[in-house]
């Protein structure tokens, strides 16, 4: 009798395990994960580091996102399935930041704003290999269109763009899914514990640095560029470009 009960329980467990998703999705909100962003407005440049910290409960259970430098709470995030929601300390309402479950051609959100229909749409999806890990990258476009615009005319109203990678978030900042004007933050690095599983190159925007077309600059050797093509002094513990080669300062 006991053997029959044991076999029945085992069968149920195997069925549950088989029913669980096997897509290898990596969640964004892993406690202890640190995300770094480079701020550069042409006059000022610095590195901003955010840490995913312990839980706090405000209706839902959120992860606190801490600015490592100031130890202040930047925002609170929660992840449900493949959706990530954001709530700021000064606001009661939450907003949907990401939906990593969407595929090419899917509409992420659609809402009416200021007499226009604002549509967030997935344009393409690709898998990105980082070491032995595979990450799912998503190209996102935001459209501001007049009411009644046919689907084939949608591309004429592309307003802004974005690039997401599961487990990491947006190219332009954790709570900035789209590259809006005036946002000077750019993703630099993601790490958890001793594992660094994402750097700027992950988003595919930095493949090489083209030297500036200036005779004064071109005539000098050993000029140092950062990954955004700006001439800099030797950076501290960062990747830089010198004489056309990538190097890491120590």
Residue 113 and residue 186 share a domain: yes
Q: Report yes or no on 225 lying in a domain.
A: yes
Q: Is the pTM of this model over 0.85?
A: no
Query: Domain span at residue 59?
Result: 25-207
User: Residue 1 falls within a domain, yes or no?
Assistant: no
Identify whether 9 is part of a domain: no
Can you read off the two tokens belonging to residue 55? 């839980």
Q: Are residues 86 and 169 in the same domain?
A: yes
Give the per-residue pLDDT at 213.
Answer: 41
Q: What is the pLDDT of residue 156?
A: 77
Q: Does 154 lie in the same domain as 41?
A: yes
Q: What is the pLDDT of residue 116?
A: 83
157, 136: one domain: yes
Q: Is residue 8 part of a domain?
A: no
Cα three-residue angle 167-198-161, rounded to 5 degrees: 70
- Residue 249: inside a domain, yes or no? yes
Q: Which residue, among 172, 174, 175, has the nearest Cα to 184 in the 3D structure? A: 172
Residue 214 and residue 133 share a domain = no
One domain, residues 108 and 220? no
Name the residue with tokens 């042409």: 42
Inside any domain, residue 20: no
> Does residue 107 sit within a domain?
yes
What is the pLDDT, as a whole number, of residue 250? 58
Q: Which helix (H) or strand (E) holds 244?
A: none
Number of structural domains in the chain: 2
User: Which of helix, strand or coil describes residue 63?
Assistant: strand
Is the residue at 141 inside a domain?
Answer: yes
Q: What is the pLDDT of residue 17?
A: 34
Q: How far is CA 83 from CA 59, 78, 160, 199, in A?
A: 17, 8, 21, 23
Same domain, 81 and 149: yes
**Whole-number Å distance between alpha carbons of 29 and 47:** 21
Task: Looking at the structure, tell me whether residues 203 and 214 fall in a common domain.
Answer: no
Q: What is the pLDDT of residue 26?
A: 87
Q: Given this model, what pLDDT does residue 10 score?
A: 37
Query: Are residues 223 and 132 both part of a single domain?
Result: no
d(CA 47, CA 178): 20
Mean pLDDT by 10 residues, the chain (250 residues): 42 34 76 94 92 90 95 95 92 91 93 84 84 80 82 77 92 92 90 80 48 40 54 56 58
């Amino acid at each position: 009798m006991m053997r029959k009960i044991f076999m029945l329980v085992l069968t149920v467990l195997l069925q549950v395990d088989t029913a669980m998703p096997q897509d290898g999705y990596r969640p964004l909100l892993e406690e202890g994960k640190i995300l770094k962003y480079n701020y550069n407005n042409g006059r000022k440049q610095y590195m901003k580091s955010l840490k995913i910290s312990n839980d706090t409960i405000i209706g839902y259970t959120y992860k606190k996102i801490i600015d490592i430098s100031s130890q202040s709470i930047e925002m609170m995030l929660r992840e449900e399935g493949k959706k990530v929601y954001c709530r700021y300390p000064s606001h009661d309402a939450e907003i949907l930041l990401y939906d990593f479950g969407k595929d090419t051609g899917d509409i992420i959100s659609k809402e009416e704003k200021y007499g226009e229909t604002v549509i967030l749409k997935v344009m393409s999806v690709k898998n990105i290999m980082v070491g032995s890990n595979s990450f799912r990258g998503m190209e996102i476009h935001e459209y501001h269109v007049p009411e009644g615009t046919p689907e084939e005319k949608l591309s004429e109203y592309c307003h802004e763009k974005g690039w997401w990678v599961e487990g990491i978030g947006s190219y332009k900042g954790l709570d900035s899914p789209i590259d809006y004007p005036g946002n000077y933050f750019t993703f630099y690095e993601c790490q958890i514990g001793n594992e660094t599983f994402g750097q700027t190159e992950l988003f595919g925007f930095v493949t090489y640095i083209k030297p500036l077309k200036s005779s004064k600059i071109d005539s000098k050797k050993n000029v140092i560029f950062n990954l955004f093509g700006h001439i800099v002094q030797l950076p501290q513990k960062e990747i830089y470009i010198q004489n056309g080669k990538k190097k890491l300062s120590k």
